[in-house]
A and B are shown apart, each in its own frame.
Chain A
Amino acid sequence: PQAALAMAAKRGTDEMRDRVVLGEFGVRNVHTTDFPGNYPGYEDAWDQRRFEEGFRVDVIREEEGTLEFDMVGIDAAIANAFRRILLAEVPTMAVEKVFVYNNTSIVQDEILAHRLGLIPIRADPRLFEYRNQGDEEGTEIDTLQFQLKIKCSRNPQAAKESSDPNELYFNHKVYSKHMTWVPLGNQTDLFPDADFRPVHDDILIALLRPGQEIDVLMHCVKGIDHAKFSPVATASYRLLPDITLLQPVEDEAAEMLQKCFSPGVIEIQDIKG
């Protein structure tokens, strides 16, 4: 009896230390409390060796544009710091300066420049330097130049009554695949096999009609201080759920419970028919 009480108390403090509890009206136990001095009998002071023994990473899914992995044995404060760094402090290359030579489309210059800046560029930022403060021109080690030159014209072969713009006009949709890389200085020698282009070819930049044209030159730089430089579409983390059923669930209730979760989470065992 006394041992059982002590066991239950220990389970209670373990839950208080390790688990965030989802109550009916709110979340409990959110803050980390396992600091030295809070719990007598627990070794809470920082020990690198104990951390390394208890820490592991399991990669769940790795695809073209997604990576999902579990980190076990690390506190939410550090995991959150990693998430914040991924979103805001990993540099990429993005269009910073747009030199507009001719823009007769209905998209205003500044709106067009803003849209061009948000297009993700396939270029390894480790190959480039940061631009020096106050340097307006840009050199070949810190700048990537792209050109977008496109003119819309009428299709003489189109049928008289058609109203489909795909048939009536040439080049009326400006996509990111129309952006071409213009090597600066010795970039052709530095990057002989490089293929610098936007990550996605099918990003619609603007719409044109016959007689309208866009002729711009873009300078991409390496940076972190704007959302366009964020390398991730998003980075997020969540705590691993730990579900404990308090009572055995049988028959139809068990099947209903199984349906609530993704297939494979709950397995129904057949006992006594």
Chain B
Amino acid sequence: IQADGTDGNCVTFVLHDEDHTLGNSLRYMVMKNPEVEFCGYCITHPSESKINFRIQTRGALPAVEPFRKGLNDLMGVCQHVLDTFEVRLFLKSS
């Protein structure tokens, strides 16, 4: 984790063993948070599986908060998609 400045508002998280699969979907969920001023990710080098994920918040909110919320929201989305899909598949096959 690399923090910019003295407050915890702008933080760059370095996530190991991750790629666009988590990066892009997490970026979308974090951007949906109204408290977030900036959110982006990049792959440092295509040969290394490492992403730099940066969050900057509006106001005094620590950047870890939207990160945590984004991860939880993503889990919620995936769970709901899985449930809906299982139901539809079951209904279709029966």
Contacts and interface: CB of A to CB of B under 8 A. Distances in A.
B81 A71 contact: yes
A36 B32 contact: yes
B44 interface: no
Interface in A36-55: 36-37, 44-46, 48, 51-52, 55
Contacts of B76: 48
B88 A59 contact: yes
Name the residue in A46, A55, A75 with the highest tally of chain B Cβ atoms < 10 Å from its Cβ. Answer: A46
Contacts of B73: 46, 48
A78 B77 contact: yes
A62 interface: yes
Contact of A78 (B28, B31, B34): B28
A48 B20 CA distance: 23
A69 B85 CA distance: 9
B24 A37 contact: no
Given A48-B73, A89-B21, A75 B28 contact: yes
Interface residues of B, number: 26
A51 B77 contact: yes
B71 interface: no
B34 A45 contact: yes
A102 interface: no
A74 B78 CA distance: 11
B29 interface: yes
Chain A contact patch, size range: 20 to 34
Contacts of A74: 77, 81
A89 B43 CA distance: 19
A46 B73 CA distance: 8
B88 A85 contact: no
Contacts of B32: 35-36, 44-46
Interface string B77-91: 110110011001100
Interface string B1-41: 00000000000000000011110110111011110000000
B47 interface: no
A32 B28 contact: yes
Given A46-B73, A48-B76, A55 B31 contact: no
Listed residue (B20, B81, B84) with the most chain A CB atoms within 10 angstroms of its CB: B81
